[in-house]
Structure 1
Amino acid sequence: MCDYVTGDVIVVDLTCSCLRGAFQPNNTLFTLSNVQTLYLRGNDLTGDIPSSICRMHSLENLSLADNKLGDLIPPCLGNLSKIAYLSLSFNRMQGSLLMRLLACMLRQLPKSLANCTRLEYLSLFSNDITDSFPHWLRTVPLGALQLGKNNFHGLVGPYPLALDFPHLNKLAIKMNNFAGSLPAKYFLQSNLTYIDLSSNKFEGALPILPPTLEMFFLSSNRFTGEIPLLLCNSTILVTVELSDNSLTGRIPQCLVDGSVSVLDLYLSMNSFRGPIPETLSVPNNCSFTTIDLSQNHLGGKLPRFLANCSKLETLDLSNNELQDSFPSWLEALPSLYILILRSNKFHGLVNTGGSPQPFSKLQIFDLFNNNFHGAFPTKYVASFKGMTGGDEKRGNFVYRAGDSQIFYAASVIGKGNNLTGPIPYSFGNLTNLEWLDLSLNNLSGEIPGSLADLTSLAYLNLSMNWLMGPIPKGKQFNTFKSDSFGGNPGLCGFPLPRECGEDANKPPPSTHAEEEDTEKGSWIEWRAVPMGYRCGTAFGLSAGYIMLHFRRPLWLMRMMERRIYKLQRRARRTRGR
């Protein structure tokens, strides 16, 4: 049967057509990519089902029943995503069976699966099944079980998993409603290499892991307590994902000293305390590619062993209590794409080290809300080759940090520090730069005209600085609103209401030049004291004390900055009348 509109063959029905022999791999039947229904039931077909049948991507109904087909079922049948009806009954097939039922809107788990005594792989990912954990599948020799993204609920079982599924090596039950605590030895006797229990409601202590485990995902649950030291027995563990729980204590030493071969370590959004473990015994044995320790209570200094992690691509230490100078000793890492130090207590100058091409692969550079001061290092900006399109590997890379903030393929964030001096002109060479935020600093001078040529720039925030002169025009700059430039009394031109006149390039009438030479933190003091005169002595002095003696609350800083900016503008308008 052909489609009346396109003329393509969409139905082939050769039921009981006395067909004999084996399929030929190059059979032209399998080139009919628009066929939706193929019936070959009730013939005398022999041999294997050829893998070339998987080229028929439009198949919705396939029946090869009642033939003499034997040997293996091609695994690629599981990739025919439109299949709604499949019949292979009454043949001579042998070997294991792989079944994928992805996004089929199933509401119940068919109990007939218990009769599939050769079923080794079962995936029911992304359906709408509401049921308890299927212990009744113990009769099936499953090696891999994928139940993710359904409505399974309740406990997974009070006794060890290996008693039900002795052959299981991969278990994935993420994004369900499983709850309760796991027995300490629930996984211990199993041969599991892959466990994914993320996004459920499990609670209590972490279970003991089997020594065969390679990948371990338990994020977004309610686990509490410390990471058990028995984790160190899993010497071939390469991925540990424990983010978004309520874990406490210190990070085990074995995770960094080489005794466990972890590549990807995700411990964000917990309550870990103390310093990040340092390792001295095996200083060159660092296999990390990802370290995410964000949103904890970690303190102290950065461990220097990180300088030996030549394969490290992502380092996210945001939202902790780390106190250290800028880690210029990381600049020589050849594979570092993401460095996020935001919301800590880093301090001092952002100095460069001796590397000829520092941070050459970096695409996300986030220093937000620390205590850095001094000029933004021009050498770093000139060396950010990863933001110029030269690195094809990460050209469209998007990283989601622990606080769900999306960072684009190329981002520089220096917001909320005490950075001074001009904006480096070399920012204009970062052709892939999409996110630039240098707000809430002490930057001065004009905005480099080269920034207007950055056609990839989607977000720009230069507000609350001491920039002056006309705002560049053209391309992306014509799309930015006044919020991107507010709080710079010396700026003029679109999108700000102040037009550029003869005095556009002159500094605003203030003692700004003298204030630049005052001690660190003076910019906070002169903003806080006028607030006291205008809004009440008690509030002004209290606000100034909070900002000077504690970490600057961003909401308070923003409120004060904006209020003073408005008062300054009102005063200038009054003088001009």
Structure 2
Amino acid sequence: MWLSNNLISGGVPSWPFTLPSLQDLRLSYNKLIGPIDQIQTPNSVRYIDLSFNGIHGPIPISFFDLVNLEELDLSSNNLIGVIKPNMLAKLKNLAYLDLSNNILLSLSSSGDGENYSFPQLVKVSFSSCSIRQFPSFFRTSNLKDLDLSNNKIPGGISKWEAEGWERLIKLNLSYNFLTTLEQFPGKNLQVLDLESNLLQGPILSTWLNLQNPNPPPSFTEFLISKNNLTGNIPPLICNWSLLTRLDLSINNLDGMIPECLGHFSYLRYMNLEMNKFYGKIPDFFTDNRLSYLLLNDNQLEGLLPRSLANCSFLVLLNLRNNKLNDTFPYWLASLPMLQVLLLRNNSLHGRMPNSIASSNFSTLRVVDLSHNELTGPLPTKFFQNLRAMKDGTEKRFWNIYDRDFDYYYTSVNVTMKRSKIELVKTLAIFRSMDFSNNLFCGQIPEELGELVSLQALNLSNNNLTGPIPPSLGKMVALESLDLSSNMLGDRIPSQLTNLTFLAVLDLSQNDLVGPIPHGKQFDTFENDSYSCNLGLCGFPLSKQCGNDEEPKPPVPMLEEDEGSEIAFIWKVAMMGYGCGVVLGLSMGYIVFSTGRPWWFVRMVERNWQKNVTKRIRRNRGRRN
């Protein structure tokens, strides 16, 4: 009986569990509420999925009389109570158990579970429940996958508790209160997630002091970010040649980055951000599968390693907030999958080359070169190559670490009321360019207006001159535009009023003159958007325009799409028609700084992609 993803409401009756021929009952993603009725005559059902409903109350004792059960999924409900080992012991055929996301559900902490065995149990998830102790009674099973993340397990796992997990392959203990781990549970462990605990001291220090404590060489994922680890990366990690994912970020690790990390043939994701690593980045990148490299917020210096050009699978490169001293890495242009390039706050200098081949950097969606020392004119050829920012229809190079890209965040600094605000966005639905706080000079190229999928553009704090190009009015997805602190002159183009999603505008500290355009979003901006332009007049400034300075009606560049669902979260957050600004900002920040709910993030991304593409094609059709 497969009835998932419907609008079924009401309680959970007992009669389906008494149907003699029923083998499979799937009622996930409905609107079921209330407690589960007691089952009078249990049948031979083997698969039950009631996940993602509103079921509350305890799990009926009679539920554990369904002795033929092989899979039971009651996750993401409001169940309460304590699960005892003698209950589960009745389900001799149970192989898959998921009770996660029931925040008032817990496991028995008594020791009576040691006499029970669970011969068929392979995967267990109690994530986001109220577990306060490592459940040692599962040790006697053939368990391969155990998820106890986001609970309240304190202290540590002793050597005794870690023994007996011979078949365990994947263990997730992230978001708990662990302080020590005397031994790796199991000898065949491949995936260990200890993110966001209270672990202290050098990595593996406790384990290295034990007799034969070495982690299994079969490790494929080692995630230990957001702790308080100190010291160097131990040489032992160099033996984990099968690593695909390594995350040591947000700790207090220091020393130099070991060269061995560049020789892992299977490594796809390496995150060492927000530590205290120093020295040069080793020039150690051979032909590998690395897709995500995050070394930002350290004390790394010297040149960017040229061997990065060998990383043909690279999607994201984050080297922000270091001490790197180099020119713009034009040699990364040939990487066919590079979508995110973050080099903010280093010592990049010199001119950006304007002779890059047309096929290079074509997949870039987010580029941040701000707070460097780059000089010369803005690179027109570079802008022309950014096809992913032009029509929003570029191919997306997902791999098995899709989740890393979807929930990896970047930030955009915008100014409101003379205060810097950091907007956090997920990269999967974001396109931005930040060249601010450099030494660029000359005029803003007209070609910049071709980047019609761009959502945030920051060219502030440079030495740019000349007028604001009217072509910027074609950037229909733009939500934040910062051209402040330059030497731009002439009038504000009336075409900018066509930017109907523009939530943040800063044109302050320039030499702009004439009337401020009005209409649409321009009627929502305050004085701060135009301050320190002595020649400007008109609303919202107190300086009135003369009769010969009245603004002309804007030239329509796109038909307004009144029914568009493109309203990306910051349009909702910052339309600014009165009282909704504060609430909108708060809700927008919460949704996109947590990446939850994931279905909402996906929905927004699909709508954004579909509707922007539709508007761009409509506009092209008119031009033709």
Superposition TM-score, scaled by structure 1 size:
0.73
CA distance in structure 1 between the aligned counterparts of 2:89 and 2:348, rounded to whole angstroms: 69
Query: Per-residue displacement from partner, 1:82-128 (whole Å, max 9, x unpaired)?
Result: 66699997998543443322232237532378366224433222234
Cα 1:79–1:267 shift into 2, 3 Å: same
Q: Which residue of 2 aligns with 1:278?
A: 283
**Aligned mates of 1:319, 1:15 — CA distance in 2:** 59
Query: Runs of 5+ in structure 2 lacking a partner?
Result: 1-6, 205-213, 399-404, 413-421, 517-528, 538-544, 551-624
Change in CA separation of 1:467 and 1:171 when aligned onto 2, cut-off 3 Å: same
**1:465 and 1:266, CA in 2 relative to 1: closer, same or farther beyond 3 A?**
same
**Does 2:478 match 1:475?**
no
Q: Highest CA radius of gyration, 1 or 2?
A: 1
Q: Using the TM superposition, name which of 329-338 and 63-72 deviates more.
A: 63-72
Instruction: Give 1:400's match in structure 2, choosing from 398, 406, 409.
Output: 409
**Contact 2:28 2:53 survives alignment (8 Å):** no
SS state at 1:467 partner: strand
In structure 2, the partner of 1:313 is: 315
Aligned length: 482
Q: Residue 204 in 1 paired to residue 201 in 2?
A: yes
Aligned to 2:272: 267
Matches within 5 A, 1:40-439: 41-43=39-41, 45-46=43-44, 48-49=45-46, 65=62, 71-75=68-72, 77-79=73-75, 81=77, 94-106=92-104, 108-111=106-109, 114=113, 117-118=117-118, 119-129=121-131, 131-135=132-136, 137-157=138-158, 159=159, 162-180=162-180, 182-183=181-182, 186-187=183-184, 190-207=187-204, 209-256=215-262, 258-279=263-284, 283=286, 285-352=287-354, 354-388=356-390, 389-391=392-394, 393=396, 399-401=408-410, 406-407=424-425, 409-439=430-460
Conserved 8 A contact 2:278-2:300: yes
Deviations 1:353-410 (A, max 9, x none): 5432221111111001111001111111122121231226389967424998625611
Root-mean-square deviation (CA), in Å?
3.9
Counterpart Cα distance in 2 of 1:144 and 1:138: 12
Q: Share of identical aligned residues, percent?
A: 29
Matches within 5 A, 1:520-559: none
Structure 1 range deviating more: 267-276 or 168-177: 168-177
Partner of 2:308, secondary structure, is: helix
Letter of the 1:278 partner, please give it.
D
Once the two structures are superposed, residues 114-160 of structure 1 have per-residue CA deviations (whole angstroms, 9 ceiling, x without a partner) of 3662244332222344x344446544553322222222211232x37
Distance 1:90 1:428 in 2: 63
* Alignment partner, residue 613 of structure 2: none
Whether the 8 Å contact between 1:411 and 1:433 is mirrored in structure 2 is: yes
1:457 to 2:478 alignment: yes
SS at match of 1:163: coil
User: Which one-letter code corresponds to 1:144 in the other structure?
Assistant: D
Amino acid at match of 2:318: D
1:503-546 superposed Cα distances (whole Å, 9 cap, x missing partner): 99xxxxxxxxxxxxxxxxxxxxxxxxxxxxxxxxxxxxxxxxxx
User: What TM-score, normalized by structure 2, do the two folds share?
Assistant: 0.68
Q: Which whole-Å CA distance do the structure 2 matches of 1:247 and 1:69 have between them?
A: 50
Once the two structures are superposed, the pairs formed by residues 440-455 of structure 1 within 5 Å of their partners are 440-455=461-476
CA contact (8 A) 2:202 2:229 kept: yes
Cα distance, 1:239–1:43 mapped onto 2, change above 3 Å: same
- Letter aligned with residue 237 of structure 1: L
Shift of 1:325: 0.9
Contact 1:271–1:296 at 8 Å: present in 2 too? yes
8 A Cα contact 1:275 1:299, kept in partner: yes
- Provide closer, same or farther for how the CA distance between residues 90 and 304 of structure 1 changes in structure 2, counting only shifts above 3 A: closer
